[in-house]
Amino acid sequence: MLSILQGLSSQRRFLWAGIPLVCSLALGACWNNRSSAETPSQGVQAEVTAAAQNPFPPIPTPPPPLPSPSGTPGLPPWWPRGQSSQWQDSPYAVALSGFLQGLAAQGGALSQQGILLWTAEGELLAEHLLDRPLPVGALDQLALSLMALEKWGYEYRFQTRFYTTSHRSGQRLTGDLVVVGGGDPYFREANVAELARHLHNLGIRQIDGEVKVVPPFRLLGQPDSLASARRLAELLRDPQGPYPVTLGGSGSTLRELPEEIHCLAGYTSLRLGSLLQILNGGNDRAMAEALLAELAGRTALLEYLQQRLVAQPVAHLDPKLAPAQLEIRLGPGGQELYLSPRALAHLWEHLLEATDGDPRRVLPVAGVGHSPLQLRALPPGTIAQVGSAANRLMMVGQLPDGTRFVLLNHGPDLGVLRQHQDQFLQQVLAVGEPLRR
């Protein structure tokens, strides 16, 4: 008797468990019958009756996945074939694959995406188009910074001197104002205002001659020494300025100093390291052009990079990261620098060495100051240099955990590119966190 009751109890449980399903079927039938009542067509009523019998439509079968041309299931067709088997289980590979798919979905050309991740020890983590030279835009400032540091040193200061070819007579100088440049890439109009104030302090209100410049001298934003001399004369004589000085002439250049001159003033720049912080923190292209001119131009910069990055590669980097000379070149017209991701990797490591392992000495840091990095959603503490051009966004740097990155990306919307880059770097940092434990 007890076993019979237990059997009935189990049947009762099945009965109660089935009630919700029966009710749902009944409600589905009532709902469909209500719809049929509102539509008098007999054909529709037949459809409603069939729907009442099976209110749940079948789930469509998803299409089969597309075949992978790389031959490795799960890897996108653009993945480097020679390294797929090595990286297919790497979390960095997963992050990079998602990044590339996101760029492609937004209209970015996959043949124009140069990406590289590597560790502080030189281990290659992931890459795409490792050896393809692409436009680097303002990232050429990294090359300028390295070349300037190795030429002059971090503490170097530029000197600019001001002379006259005559003596003062009351408030007049009867000769010329001679400017002897020292190659300062950041001599600004504010410095001219300080010169005018100094002349007023000396009691000088009038110069009978003109402004004569001995190169190298360039006023920030001016194309050459002659234009700088003329602009300096305009600023000095400006009647709206706080310290106007009357000039008898305009501006010209001299090849050498006159024999008889008398010193009026001197200006010493900030140290080179601080100037490079200003250059890279503000992406000041006028300053970059002035510094490039002082370093003998683009051809000299190209030859320097080919020698420094190819002939003197960084020893601790993976041998796969050694660049070839063809990966360092000038683009059409000879105005824009093209570098491959692995050439930029060597440039970054050389810059680290030139700054004693602390690139913050010449580069901006996310979360600090007022650089363009503050407009990004980068991990705080990221050190990087950014650049942009038509349909291109470039960035080189290192994350707070020391992971280095090169991003040379292409897409129609720079705002979307920034979001993708920021999300990718956040993901790379998150991937590395459990690996460091």
Q: Look at residue 86 in the predicted model and tell me its pLDDT.
A: 56
Cα–Cα distance for residue pair 13/4, rounded to 1 Å:
14
Backbone φ, ψ for residue 369 (5° rounding): 75, -155
Instruction: Using DSSP bridges, classify how beta strands 211-214 and 251-253 pair: parallel, antiparallel or unpaired.
Output: parallel
* Fold annotation for 84-152+276-436: Beta-lactamase (3.40.710)
* CATH number for region 166-260: 3.50.80.20
The residue extents of the domains of the chain are: 84-152+276-436, 166-260
Tokens 């030859």, residue located = 303
Q: Which residues have a Cβ under 8 Å from the Cβ of 163 and sit 6 or more positions away?
A: 177, 178, 179, 180, 257, 261, 262, 263, 264
Torsion of CA 378, 135, 122, 427, to 10 degrees: 30
What pLDDT is attached to residue 265? Answer: 95
**In contact, 179 and 212? CB cutoff 8 Å:** yes
> Are residues 189 and 266 in contact, defined by beta-carbon separation less than 8 angstroms?
no
How many angstroms separate the Cα of 359 from the Cα of each of 62, 281, 381? 51, 12, 12
Q: Are 86 and 125 a contacting pair, CB within 8 Å?
A: no
The answer to whether the beta carbons of residues 425 and 125 sit under 8 Å apart is no
Q: State pTM to two decimals.
A: 0.80
Q: What is the pLDDT of residue 436?
A: 61
Is residue 363 within 8 A of residue 329, CB to CB? The reply is no
User: What is the model's pLDDT at position 155?
Assistant: 98
Q: Give the pLDDT of the chain (437 residues) as one tens digit per residue.
A: 444 444 444 444 444 444 443 444 333 433 343 333 333 334 434 443 444 444 444 444 444 443 333 333 344 444 443 444 455 578 999 999 999 999 999 999 999 999 999 999 999 999 999 999 999 999 999 999 999 999 999 999 999 999 999 988 889 999 999 999 999 999 999 999 999 999 999 999 999 999 999 999 999 999 999 999 999 999 999 999 999 999 999 999 999 999 899 999 999 999 999 999 999 999 899 999 999 999 999 999 999 999 999 999 999 999 999 999 999 999 998 899 999 999 999 999 999 999 999 999 999 999 998 888 999 999 999 999 999 988 999 999 999 999 999 999 999 999 999 999 999 999 999 998 776 65
Beta bridge partners of 206: 172, 246
Distance between CA atoms of residues 173 and 208, nearest Å: 6
Please tell me the distance from the alpha carbon of residue 76 to that of residue 319, in angstroms, as a whole number.
25
Identify whether 216 is preceded by a cis peptide bond (ω within 30 of 0): yes
Strand partners, 271: 157
Q: Which residue has the tokens 């410095």?
A: 191
Instruction: Check the CA dihedral 187-191-192-198 and report its sign.
Output: negative
Burial of 286 (0-12, 13-18, 19+ CB in 10 A): middle
